A = this chain, B = another copy of it.
Amino acid sequence: MKPYIEWTKEELVAEKARLEQEFAEVKAKGLNLNISRGKPAAAQLDLTEGMLTVLSKNEDTFAEDGTDCRNYGVLTGIPEARKLIGDICEVSAENVIVYGNASLTIMFDTVARSFLKGVAGCTPWNKLDKVKFLCPVPGYDRHFGVTEYFGVEMINVPMTPEGPDMDMVEKLVAEDDAIKGIWCVPKYSNPQGYTYSDETVRRFANLKPAAKDFRIFWDNAYIIHHLYDDRQDHLLNIIEECEKAGNPDMVYEFVSTSKVSYPGAGIAALISSEANLKEAQEYMNFQIIGHDKLNQLRHVKFFQNLDGVMNQMKKHAEILRPKFEAILQVMDQELSGLDIASWTKPNGGYFISFDAMEGCAKKIVAKAKEAGLTMTGAGATYPYHNDPQDSNIRIAPSFPTPEELEIAGQVFVLSVKLVSVDKILESK
């Protein structure tokens, strides 16, 4: 296929008619498909069935140190759960606090705490005229939602396959002490599936922020979420790198088992320095007596250890891989060479990032919706839902079956082509 842009007006008009015909046929099927959210499929959740009954008797409910997990207490999580999370993150159990079922809540509460009580003895953010966060874009909509909700000014930083533009990050944090944080999904990033390079991680660890209370919000949501055995990204350990750089307190790392065990009933954790965890605990100390330790114990007893977790992740990958491949294959086949889009081919994570021609994303998502395909709203991957180019679309292939994804792919590429042809025709 040669690029659309090189087609004559007549060829494009004919193509448009053909595409409209095809689209009408697909639309007539009355499809109802959803590739909008990174939601695991039931088959993935079924993998964790054994966890339901791994604690089955009263005598099963005790932690290794004798703690009755049914009762009150243990603010930081049971030791064996802290160790399991520590093993996943390649840190010591002492660097881990295990919370409830959602890392989003830990992030939200961390921002709320910074506003209410301040960080490291600095002025609480709610007493400041202006608080800013750097937001690598495209990125995760729920991150941007948290900072928008609290009135934080968000500054876009372009993403590259190596991570955020570090020249820009270094310059901005050094210059402006109103910049208090940066949202990162460092491994198999949402939505690109990029993994920050070693250089990027080291540059993060060596940042010289003007604000003493600047923190990297390192959402390692896909830390072990590989799609392939033989093609796995490796991410440097930020906790270790920050220690080495003499900046141990500069990072909060967040992880969860939402996409390891259950999205609605996993365990989540904050990984950070001793000083940062102590500060977090001061808040928790008034907020809760202890998170659900039975569920923490269920996780440890079911997975046993890191090997158990990694085996589970392989099974997840076996379910997810064909889905990524199904939709990627349709895009490769139908869009390659037309020069109207680019997209990522990640080795892990839950998303594909798709860039259409400028000004086309909203129209494509609307077009797909017309034929029964729900996608993440265009703009969602940018702060304030504002994609300045209106070109990025996040594709989340985890929930439907591979067969459905092939159909979804067909609807999507038809929508992309139709909107793109229209745009090119306008300029002819």
Q: Which residues of chain B have C-beta atoms less than 8 A from A70's C-beta?
A: 45, 48, 262-265
Per the CB 8 Å criterion, the residue count for chain A at the interface is 54
Copies in the assembly, this chain: 2
Contact A108 B286 (CB under 8 A): yes
Q: B49, B68, B74, B115: which contacts A57 (Cβ < 8 A)?
A: B49
Name, among A55, A58, A265, the residue most crowded by chain B CB atoms within 10 Å (CB to CB): A265
Spot the interface stretch: A83-91, A144-152, A244-252: A144-152
A52 in the interface (beta carbon within 8 A): yes
Nearest chain B residue, comparing its CB with the CB of A147:
B286
Name, among A48, A72, A264, the residue most crowded by chain B CB atoms within 10 Å (CB to CB): A264
Interface string of A285-328 (1 = CB under 8 A from B): 01111111111000000000000000000000000000000000
Interface string of A60-81 (1 = CB under 8 A from B): 1100000011111110000000
A100 in the interface (beta carbon within 8 A): yes
Nearest chain B residue, comparing its CB with the CB of A264:
B293
Q: Smallest Cβ distance from A312 to chain B, in angstroms? A: 14
Residues of A within 8 A of B (CB): 37, 39-40, 42, 45-46, 48-49, 52-53, 55-58, 60-61, 68-74, 100-102, 104-105, 108-109, 112, 115-116, 126, 142, 145-146, 149-150, 258, 262-265, 286-295
A-B contacts, 5 listed (Cβ < 8 Å): A39-B71, A45-B58, A100-B101, A112-B116, A264-B293
